[in-house]
Structure 1
């Protein structure tokens, strides 16, 4: 059994979805579906694309939800159906013990994301940490410090709509 966690930018431009999805598909293609657990916080952008690709190859999805109010306060109206579908498809759902989303909840969710992971896939443009904590660069740094293999996915066609992680 191989557990692969994901971190990545939420603000992928619409035209980036196809190229990112293609690279994720290639990366995950080396695994037998039932031998793969994909771990994701199910955020829009990179997390959701990764979760969809894990399910598409028959892998198991493990969802790490940062707080009890995450869906209500952090998931945009336009992303609710996708979030709910992925949450329903997850074979494991861990809701972190925080009432409200925020830096502490995100940092704890990211620690849980990496716990026992064999690899981390980072859909990441290489940008430095934002200083808010819990962002893509922070998770990559934590994974590397823990000795977890990091696979960076950032095809040449990938673009972000802002600098938010």
Structure 2
């Protein structure tokens, strides 16, 4: 099973705990022998999902939206990003250099194209900018990729 991930970044600490638990539950529904998680490994749900897949015994593939992507992530996340990137079975790239909304959506489109299902850590609200979680969910729906929304009771996008 090839599971992709999309989700909101910058979530409050209490939401992180709830979402990590829900992601672990979701991942554990699949056999580790055949589980491939596909992620852009940004801080937040992307990285939490990739870690959960690896902890469960599955493997990951990484999509890099732009050559400048890592530099646009928080400095405190760089070590996690680097570690997960090293653990990837395969790395896919858009070929773009600027880490902007266009590149992020292009990366998400590649991710959706590689996935059998998409896990969306999503509050159900419209995207706050082009390439946001809602846009990725809409793209998956248009392309026939089933979406599993993970938004546990008590989760909030803003703290």
TM-score by shorter chain over 0.5: yes
| Superposition map of 1:23-62 within 5 A | 23-62=22-61
What's the CA shift for 1:149?
Answer: 0.9
What's the CA shift for 1:34?
Answer: 2.0
Measure the CA separation in 1 of the matches of 2:16 and 2:74.
18
Q: TM-score, normalised by structure 2?
A: 0.95
Q: Give the count of matched residue pairs.
A: 159
Unaligned runs of 5+ in 2: none
Q: Which deviates more, 5-14 or 91-100? A: 91-100
Measure the CA separation in 2 of the matches of 1:129 and 1:71.
22
Q: TM-score, normalised by structure 1?
A: 0.91
| Superposition map of 1:85-96 within 5 A | 85-96=83-94
| Superposition map of 1:1-165 within 5 A | 2-72=1-71, 74-130=72-128, 132-161=129-158
Unaligned runs of 5+ in 1: none
Measure the CA separation in 1 of the matches of 2:149 and 2:115.
15
Tell me the secondary structure at the aligned position of residue 115 of structure 1.
Answer: helix
Measure the CA separation in 2 of the matches of 1:12 and 1:123.
10
Tell me the secondary structure at the aligned position of residue 114 of structure 2.
Answer: coil
What's the CA shift for 1:157?
Answer: 2.4
Per-residue deviation, residues 47-99 of structure 1 (Å, max 9, x unmatched): 11111101111111010011011112x11111111111111111111122011
Measure the CA separation in 1 of the matches of 2:147 and 2:94.
24
Measure the CA separation in 2 of the matches of 1:106 and 1:77.
18
Measure the CA separation in 2 of the matches of 1:82 and 1:14.
17
